[in-house]
Structure 1
Amino acid sequence: MTKFSQMATVCKLIDSEFNERLKWQSEKLPFNAFGASLRRRFGGRIQRVSIDAGFTCPNVDGAVARGGCNFCDNRSFSPSRRVRLKQVSEQLATGIETVTKRYDKVAGFIAYFQPATNTYAPVEQLEEVFRLALSIDPRVVGLAVGTRPDCVPESVLMLLETLARETYVSLEFGMQTIHDAGLQWMNRAHDHASMINAIDRSRGRGFECCSHVILGIPGETHAMMMETATEIGRLGFDAVKIHNLYAVLGTPLGDQVQSGEIVLMQREEYTHTVVDFLERIPAEVIVERVSGDAPSNYLIEPKWCLEKSSLRLAIEQEFKRRGTCQGSHCVAPKIPPAQRPRPADATPESIRNQIDLGRRLPVLKIEKSGGRPQE
């Protein structure tokens, strides 16, 4: 095959994938919803199963800060941290069983490494855990890995690129906002420049890049949130996950909400803001979530986020009322994301050392088939 024909083949594959991502429009949907996107890709219903591998975060252990994010209590973000931490293999098997009982005709599962920072460990250990997750059950069709933008040195990206040649892989970045003042308020201990560096090094490696965004950060105006929406297209994310800011017990944010120091977004304002946000992102971007919630026994406010179905319906109805859809007001960036240069790795040395040179972490790992549980 000539170089020209190889390039032509690659272009056809890219065009085919792009067209696949726009099929939601012919189905008359208001936005490119994640569930429908997975059905098209895998031919049936695909469910994520949350896994807690016992990792921590560099803004918890002192690598870049201490205290963690001011909104974060991991018990509220993952089912696996609401109970005693179990062997990862048991978590995956139990999760698959639970989902199978809840939904009919589930075609497959995605092992979702969700709580904490799931690339913040020696890279050899990460590979072991990820590969074992893929081997536990033949119905596991891929991985989703949640992380921070300052925790993806080249070694991690090379690992995910290798895995993506074998299976579906999604790398979920906690971007939250493009505004450094909001990141400082959260105690994220990284700036938006870290996110730009991470996505510019991650794009085009064969795995999906998802941006996690929080709407309703104190001090952010509507215009500032729309600037974050515009950045989704400018940086070329494949997917976005949108959450409302909510407060749970045992967190600094929870204390501020209970004292009345911070007032969270109301349901109607949030609904309109989500629609405004989605109108400004590219039509091909997959929308993995339009809201977030927490268990009722941890949640302080807003209570309306527990009503996920009615909130989703309200968002769809607002699109219908406006006569718009995802991408209706999107402005293409002057430089296409694919043409953005790949920068040098800006991972902080303290984090890079933990990933590339660190000793194995004492986290719970997946039990090998037929073997003893490993720690």
Structure 2
Amino acid sequence: MATDPTPPESISPTVPSWRAEGLVFNAFGAALRRRYGGRVQRISIDAGFTCPNVDGAVARGGCNFCDNRSFSPSRRVRLKRVADQLTDGIRTVRKRYDKVTGFLAYFQPATNTYAPVEQLREIYELALSHGPEIRGLAVGTRPDCVPDSVLELFEMLAADHDVSVEFGMQTMHNDGLVWMNRAHDHGHQVNAIDRARGRGFECGVHIILGIPGETHEMMMQTADEVAALGFDSVKIHNLYVVEGTPLADQVRAGTLNLMDRETYVQTVVDFLQRLPPEMIVERVSGEAPKGFLVEPAWCLDKSRLLREIESEFRRRGTVQGSHYRPPTVSPHSRPRPQDNTPESIRQQIEQRGRLPVLKMN
């Protein structure tokens, strides 16, 4: 959900609203408050989706870092209906926070566009119609799982609702994607964002820093690519290791070295300095519950990590966008390409019958 581009009369139009608030980057929570006039919280929904690199459409085994139970509480219990998850999530958030203006229905675990289009429409509309407290929809997916039929669905929903689609890019470097067992390449991400842009919904991107084999220069190349492709928002987190994954075995065998906290802080600041100032920063770190996390332990203290990132910005005297250089070709001037969704995935989305596992009813 993009923030209101019109600044208050008391703020110069050349100064971003977040700068006027004394922030060092365009933080998600503050952006939501500016848009909605109060606190808005995401409610994570697990509708029972899987992924094409799990079920064999493009690969098996899934991403080597991924155990969805560690990313979403809903995967740690028997799944409830989408409506019940929203009801319970809203109740839980209201107990934690005194004043909440509204909620975003966030389809988070797995690949949340990997189902027949008509069924996707039903499940998204079910969430949006849950009640007036639901202000919009956020959907996490892979860049190879958004054929034009899915993007047209989001475009239709965005005519009446705030809609955000989050693409799991992770890195622009194909060697890193192969290491992860993503089973797509960076070309799928470029194709997806160039087809999605300008349809009325927000396009976000998810990035992982500290992928083995990636140098600082390579991570900055990914930052420049994120800036050049014109995403509306970005999530950044460190590579961390959870139980039940191939990475956990590598860590215990001593064959995988993870980024230390100080290096991560420096890298995040370097990354954000290269992004356009209007891009919303939804996350600057990631963590898993103690029962799932293997390493690194430092990512559990998110508050401390955020303070250190903000302190490093202030020590340097920089902010998000300080080192941003607009691309030669504006993102909105890039032509819309032909759909390159893999045929094996397209068939699963556009040709197969309804999936009984999705938790609608």
Contact 1:226-1:276 at 8 Å conserved across structures: yes
Which of 231, 244, 249 aligns to 2:238? It is 244
Task: Identify the residue that residue 7 of structure 1 maps to in structure 2.
Answer: none
Q: Secondary structure at 1:163's aligned position in 2?
A: helix
1:99 aligns to what SS in structure 2?
A: helix
In structure 2, the partner of 1:9 is none
Deviation at 1:206, TM superposition (A): 0.6
Determine which of 271, 274, 289 is the counterpart of 2:265: 271
Deviations 1:74-104 (A, max 9, x none): 0001111122211121111111111111112
Partner of 2:100: 106
- Equivalent in 327, 330, 337 of residue 336 of structure 1: 330
Q: 1:321-353: per-residue Cα shift (whole Å, max 9, x none)?
A: 000000000111000000000000000111111
How has the CA–CA distance of structure 1 residues 126 and 21 changed in structure 2, closer, same or farther, with 3 Å as cutoff?
farther
- 5+ residue gaps, structure 2, are 8-12
1:48 aligns with 2:62: no
After the TM superposition, which segments of 4 or more aligned residues of structure 1 sit over 3 Å from their partners?
13-17
**Which residue of structure 1 lines up, in the alignment, with residue 88 of structure 2?**
94
The CA distance in 2 between the partners of 1:63 and 1:24, in whole Å, is 43
Q: TM-score, normalised by structure 2?
A: 0.96
Contact 2:79–2:359 (Cα < 8 Å) also in 1 = no
Q: CA deviation at 1:259?
A: 1.2
The residue correspondences of 1:271-290 to structure 2 (distance < 5 A) are: 271-290=265-284
- Number of aligned residues: 354
Aligned letter for 2:188?
S
Match of 2:198 among 193, 196, 204: 204
Q: For the residues of structure 1 that align with 2:104 and 2:23, how far apart are their CA atoms?
A: 24
Match of 2:167 in 1: 173
- Look up the SS of the partner of 1:211 in the other structure: strand
From the superposition, tell whether residues 282 and 86 of structure 1 become closer, same or farther in structure 2 (CA, over 3 Å).
Answer: same
% identical equivalent positions: 69
Q: Does 1:34 align with 2:28?
A: yes
Alpha-carbon distance in 1 for matches of 2:296, 2:72: 18
Instruction: Give the secondary-structure state (helix, strand or coil) at the position aligned to 1:92.
Output: helix
Aligned pairs (5 A) from 1:205-244: 205-244=199-238
In the alignment, what sits opposite 2:69? Answer: 75
CA distance in 1, matches of 2:272, 2:5: 23
In 1, Cα distance between the equivalents of 2:252 and 2:203?
35
SS at match of 1:365: coil
Q: Please say if residues 41 and 104 of structure 2, whose CA atoms lie closer than 8 Å, have aligned partners that are also in contact.
A: yes
SS in 1 for 2:136: strand
List per-residue Cα deviations over 1:204-252 (Å, max 9, x = no partner).
1110000000000000000000000001111000000001100001100
Out of 118, 121, 126, which is 1:124 matched to?
118
Cα gap change, 1:21 to 1:85, in 2 (>3 Å): farther
The alpha-carbon deviation at position 363 of structure 1 amounts to 2.1
2:10 aligned partner: none
Amino acid at match of 1:362: P
Are residues 21 and 358 of structure 1, via their aligned partners in 2, closer, same or farther at CA, if it must alter by over 3 Å? Answer: farther
1:33-75 CA distances to partner (integer Å, 9 max, x unpaired)? Answer: 0000001111110000000000000000000000000000000
User: Given residue 214 of structure 1, which amino acid in structure 2 is its aligned partner?
Assistant: I
Distance 1:339 1:250 in 2: 44
Query: Would the aligned equivalents of 1:118 and 1:146 in 2 still touch at CA under 8 Å?
Result: yes
Q: Distance in 2 between matches of 1:203 and 1:321?
A: 36
Distance verdict in 2 for CA 1:126–1:222, change over 3 Å? same
Deviations 1:112-169 (A, max 9, x none): 0000000000000000000000111210000000000000001100000011111110
- Measure the CA separation in 1 of the matches of 2:40 and 2:198: 24
RMSD over aligned CA atoms reads 1.4
Residue type matched to 1:280 in 2? R
Q: What is the TM-score with the length of structure 1 in the denominator?
A: 0.92
Who is 2:358 aligned against?
Answer: 364
- In structure 2, the residue matched to 1:369 is none
C-alpha distance 304-198 of structure 1, shift in aligned 2 (>3 A): same
Aligned residue for 1:301? 295
**Is the 2:4–2:34 Cα contact (8 Å) retained in structure 1?**
no
- Post-superposition offset of 1:316: 0.3
**Structure 2 residue aligned with 1:345, among 335, 339, 348?**
339
Tell me the distance in 2 between the aligned counterparts of 1:363 and 1:214. Answer: 30
**In 1, Cα distance between the equivalents of 2:358 and 2:110?**
14
